[in-house]
Structure 1
Amino acid sequence: MGHGHSHRATNGIDDEIRVGTTARTVLLASLGVALLLTLVGLVVWWPAGDAIDRAVKSGGEAAQFAAPGVTFPSGEVVAVAPRCPGDGLPDNSGCSTLSVAIEGEDDPVVVPVLPDVLDSGIGKGDRVELQRTPTPEAQDGEEVSYSYFATERNGTLAWLAVAFVAVVLSIARLRGLFALVGLAFGGGVVWWWLLPALLDGAPGVGVALTSAAAIMFVVLYTTHGVSLRTSVALAGTLVGIVLTAGIGVIAIGDALLTGISDESGLIVAQFGALDFQALLGCAMVIVGLGVLNDVTITQASAVWELRAASPEASRGEVFAGAMRIGRDHIASTIYTIVFAYVGTALILLMLLRVYDRPLLDLLSTEQLAEEVVRTLVTSIGLVLAVPVTTGLAALIASPRPGHGAHAGTAPPE
């Protein structure tokens, strides 16, 4: 009798599930083909770094963050001048300024700041980053001017990261550790493969599918263990990724979205013309990965639990029971997606809210239409992944023979 492989926290349920040989073979063969295609994509679109090298080495100035000679020293705030009256903009009276002690400078450097910097609560002892710019008449960099660039927030980011890791490990324990490893791997794929490949001009949707599949192969098996249950969730996730990519390409073309944002001009200046519609399609695939993974592993686990509890139930009964769980999950997950987009686009929505035009007219604007299409495409792919994963799991987890009228015909062994 066939059965699933071990799973880290299954309480032996995988060993209780009967798996038909044919269904298992088809599943694993399909995942093998998907893995092969993923590896081919990684090799074919492996970023040579030509575009980045040209910008950094050959183009020089195009990839520089600031003009030649400009540096960004850090210093400690030793005094904060009161906010200027009226609109709060710095003037010659010395208001709305920070006095910053920089290593190598005898006296503190006084730099003007905008009101929002003071309103953030900055005070004595905080650290800031300044922009040090040689003046046009400077000789050998002796004459320079300073301006405020940013407030250093590394301390806050560090303790939040430590708190996040501590909470995950204390509650999720070993499973949380594997999840963090998978998260680190996914971030590495995005930073060292996906972004350079896109900058080299590789097709956006192809790169998105390849990177998403590579991440899911590692993340799912690392986090949830090597088992047929995880393999079913992986298969459902890959189907959802492909559906999201396909629907996204159709929707972007039909809506005539350009994919161009405020940052697009900077990218074009450094790396030349890129297919921003394809980049938008890539973003749609990547943005839905986490939620898609969540629903597929939940549905696979739901089928496994139902099958373990009712080994005599037919596949249809198990599918129906798991779909009742899936419908509740779909409802809550859609809220998550929609409100996540609302949060990221809050300033844009506030701006659109004050315009004296009907909301339906504003929906056709590039910025809002892009967010609406992104939300709907991701949600459609998510919803479709639920019955796909549930159906695959119900086919894999077979009824046991000889358990009543609903057992059905067991697959051949």
Structure 2
Amino acid sequence: MNKKSLLIILCVLCSLFCNLLIANATEELKEYTKVKAYVIEEKVTETNQIMLQTIRVRILDGQFKDRIIEFNHRIIEDSKFNIRLHKNMKVFVQLTIENNQLSNIAFIDVVKDEYLLLLSAIFFILLVIFGGFKGLRSFIALIITGLCLVKLFMPMIIKGYSFVFSTIAVSGVIIITSFLLISGFTKKSLCAILGTLGGTIASGLLAIYFGNLIQLTGVSDETVQILITQTNLNINYRGLLYSGITIGVLGAVMDVSMTITSVIFEIKSTNRKTSISKLFFSGLSVGKDIMATMTNTLILAYAGTSLPLLFLFSVGEMTLIDIVNTQYIASEIIRSLCGSIGLLLTIPITSLIAAINSR
């Protein structure tokens, strides 16, 4: 190789290296930011069955606030971008800022928090109108429940506490707080608390026993897989599944327990001579009317979250045995049945406790 050829090769390599440095430097100068925008105009064009919208928006926050920008939005069927944008709609967009100049804009999603806040306000107003002061207290109990899950349960799991201890502790706080807020510190509240604890613990123990028996891993849901791949959390996912089953049944069990306790105490207040056995069987009688609809509610709630997967199985060629033996479906069956059994056991437990303590 002569000197001239060597020089040419060196020049080419230097040029490539310089271009690479410039590209990296340019990339470093890019900044991506998510902002809200207001749709002021939209035009639709359809080409080869592809719908394309030309959208004009006004930026609502950030350094480009009040700037009017135009971008294209492709509506893709059967995807998260199957959203047609309309005038007066608020959306999230991603701005690409290069050298302090806006170089690109892309649609992310529709702003949802304002409508969710409106729905929450409707729920709160109706709760207060029809429930009065007790409705207000139940709303406060709902807020406390959410805080217990986010501020107590999750940090305990992240810090490595046993999922059994964490679930019992958080469930106990939720149960006691809810009943004391709604019914005050009374015998009736105490009976409902004990009945709820009995049914919830039974549900959790059944879930642990049968879940371990069929070797559930807790890593069957797509959300859990995302949690594993995109975070560094080192937690017991099988335990997390059992905690979800136990906490998931809590609301229904509380409802049943309080209903039965109220009925038994009402019977006792109208006839002080009613025996414990009659009160107990009265509670069971009320429980029979509750169990059919409440158990159905639990199973339908769990099945509703799995409808897309059930459709996948139904249009495929999997047999019923194959479907039942998948991790996800087996987990949902355990969730539904253990929750329902815990609900059923709550009826005699609460009936007995309330009958004894209604004097």
Aligned to 1:290: 251
Letter in 1 for 2:85: I
Q: 2:71 aligns with which of 105, 110, 113?
A: 110
**Kindly tell me: are residues 97 and 254 of structure 1, through their superposed partners in 2, closer, same or farther at Cα, counting changes over 3 Å?**
farther
- In the TM superposition, residue 247 of structure 1 has moved relative to its aligned partner by 1.0
TM-score w.r.t. structure 1 length?
A: 0.73
Aligned-residue RMSD, C-alpha: 2.1
Residue pairs, 1:59-98, within 5 angstroms: 69-82=31-44, 84-88=46-50, 95-98=52-55
Give 1:123's match in structure 2, choosing from 69, 79, 86: 86
SS for the counterpart of 1:284 is: helix
8 Å Cα contact 2:38-2:91 kept in structure 1: yes
Equivalent position of 1:181 in the other structure: 140
In the TM superposition, what is the alpha-carbon distance from 1:227 to its structure 2 partner? Answer: 0.8
CA contact (8 A) 1:330 1:383 kept: yes
Distance in 2 separating the partners of 1:200 and 1:247: 26
Preserved contact between residue 96 and residue 118 of structure 1 (Cα < 8 Å) = no
2:194 aligned to which of 210, 227, 235: 235
1:361, distance to aligned residue in structure 2 (A): 2.1
2:127 counterpart residue number: 168
Conservation of the 8 A alpha-carbon contact between 1:205 and 1:279: no
Q: Deviations over 1:15-74 (max 9, x none)?
A: xxxxxxxxxxxxxxxxxxxxxxxxxxxxxxxxxxxxxxxxxxxxxxxxxxxxx9432111
Tell whether 2:218 aligns with 1:262: no
Equivalent position of 2:347 in the other structure:
386
Kindly provide the amino acid, as one letter, of the partner of residue 305 in structure 1. Answer: E
Q: Does the 8 Å contact 2:283/2:347 carry over to 1? A: no
Kindly indicate which of the two structures has a greater share of residues assigned to strand.
2
1:39-54 matches, within 5 Å, as none
Give unpaired runs (5+ residues) of structure 1: 1-67, 90-94, 399-413
1:210 aligns with 2:169: yes
Match of 1:19 in 2: none
- AA in 2 matched with 1:279: L
**Counterpart Cα distance in 2 of 1:201 and 1:81:** 53
Aligned twin of 1:99: 56
Q: Is 1:323 the counterpart of 2:280 in the alignment?
A: no
8 Å contact from structure 1 (residues 98, 113) kept in 2:
no
What is the TM-score of this pair, normalised by structure 2? 0.84
Does residue 339 (structure 1) correspond to residue 300 (structure 2)? The answer is: yes
CA distance in 2, matches of 1:86, 1:122: 20
How far off its partner does 1:264 sit?
2.7
SS in 2 for 1:352: helix
Once the two structures are aligned, what percentage of the paired residues are identical?
Answer: 22
Structure 1 residue 231, shift from structure 2 partner: 0.4
**What CA distance in whole angstroms lies between the structure 2 residues aligned with 1:277 and 1:112?**
41
* Preserved CA contact (<8 Å) 1:204 1:278: yes
Q: Kindly state the Cα deviation for residue 106 of structure 1 after the two structures are TM-superposed.
A: 4.4
Q: Deviations over 1:198-239 (max 9, x none)?
A: 222322222111101011111111012221011000011111
Q: Higher helix fraction: Structure 1 or Structure 2?
A: 2
Give, in whole Å, the separation in 2 of the partners of 1:180 and 1:153.
22
Q: CA deviation at 1:141?
A: 5.0
* 2:260 matched residue in structure 1: 299
Matched with 2:6 is none
**1 or 2 for the larger relative contact order (CA 8 Å, sep ≥6)?**
1
1:271 aligned partner, one-letter code:
N
Whole-angstrom CA distance in 2 between matches of 1:320 and 1:265: 47
Measure how far apart 1:360 and its partner are.
3.2
Q: Deviations over 1:143-202 (max 9, x none)?
A: 643221110122311221111111000001011011011111111111111112222232
1:58 aligns with: none
Deviation at 1:355, TM superposition (A): 1.3
SS of residue in 2 equivalent to 1:150:
strand
Alignment of 1:225 onto 2:184: yes
User: How far did 1:98 drift?
Assistant: 2.8
- Find the partner of 1:374 among 317, 335, 344: 335
Report the counterpart of residue 326 of structure 2 in structure 1: 365
Bigger radius of gyration among the two: 2
Q: The residue matched to 1:356 in structure 2 has which SS?
A: coil
Letter in 1 for 2:224: S
**1:111 and 1:199, CA in 2 relative to 1: closer, same or farther beyond 3 A?**
farther
Residue 387 of structure 1 deviates from its aligned partner by: 0.3
Contact 1:96 1:115 in 2 (8 A): no
Amino acid at match of 1:108: I
Query: How many residue pairs get matched?
Result: 322
